[in-house]
Amino acid sequence: RSGPVRAGGVALTNHLILAAGVLGTTGASLRRILRSGAGGVVTKSIGPSPMSGHPGPCLAVLEDGILNAMGLPNPSSEFTEELGAVAGEPVIASIFGGSPEEFKTVAGWFAGKVSGFELNLSCPHAEGYGAALGSDPSLVEECTRAVASYNLPTWVKLTPNVTDITIYGRAAERGGATALVAINTVKAMRISPELRRPVLGHGYGGLSGNAILPIAVRCVYELYEACSIPIIGCGGISSARDVLEMMMAGATAVEIGSAVLSDQQIFRSIERELYAPDGEDPTTIVGCAHV
């Protein structure tokens, strides 16, 4: 089955969403992922002015995950031109800024063109953006309030790189968030002994993929216990079993990122397994998520 699903005010065609940053830089790639079985898609994060990203290498494939320090590369307001290709589809704009005012400006470019917003308050390697704001509860609340003023679905993506993620979940909830997304990447580093330097040009970066699934499940569970808005689980999901695990932790829907890079048909295969004709609806099996 892939019927209508609601998550944090957004109407999706199933519970499986493309995570921000992965293949979300053009309208054509977003449309291709929607056609390949995704119930919704999140764009690459867009900010107040164009950025070219950090010096390379920006991405390293590890045994159990991916380490990146892309550096928020994005074309800023010009990206809205890509949205014609996915008009009327479940598209969520990932946005970032350095202040509540900048968040509001960027959200304004997308209002009326997307199904909702996902505030990126969680990039681990973005000076002045991302987790720099997302680890200050009052800034989380103010940025959320600025974007929620458009009265569109407003999801807030949280960083795991804090001692108590529930403080930030509750701050976003106070600011008017309609859902929490947990988690962004885990701050991490690898060094090449042969090259005698970090594998990434930036030094440290953000870890995604299978290695971070247990951290993401723990964060979703803690947020589910502490907050009353829906939670979108994100981090290391690559199978229908992982989706069910996230739902048992309290997720209403899930986002899939790294796994899409090695298998562009992953949405279709997870969808087939999750909604097998002889299987039960996963939400009724789990039956615990906030709606």
Instruction: Return residues touching ligand RRO (CB under 6 A).
Output: 21, 45, 68-72, 120, 122-123, 130, 184-185, 206
* Residue closer to ligand RRO (CB basis): 16 or 22: 22
- In angstroms, the CA 90 to CA 114 distance is 7
Least Å from the CB of residue 264 to ligand RRO: 20
Least Å from the CB of residue 151 to ligand RRO: 25
Least Å from the CB of residue 279 to ligand RRO: 33
* Residue closer to ligand RRO (CB basis): 37 or 116: 116
Least Å from the CB of residue 260 to ligand RRO: 14
- In angstroms, the CA 120 to CA 185 distance is 11
Give the catalytic positions in this structure.
Answer: 123
Amino acid in the structure at residue 32 = R
Cα separations (Å) of 97 from 38, 52, 105, 288? Answer: 27, 15, 9, 34
- In angstroms, the CA 154 to CA 144 distance is 8
Contact 42, 19 (CB under 8 A): yes
Contact 120, 86 (CB under 8 A): no
Rg over alpha carbons for the chain, rounded to the nearest Å, is 17
* Residue closer to ligand RRO (CB basis): 5 or 70: 70
* Residue closer to ligand RRO (CB basis): 219 or 274: 219
Contact 206, 188 (CB under 8 A): yes
- In angstroms, the CA 247 to CA 270 distance is 14
Contact 92, 10 (CB under 8 A): yes
- In the bound state, the residue with its beta carbon closest to ligand RRO is 206
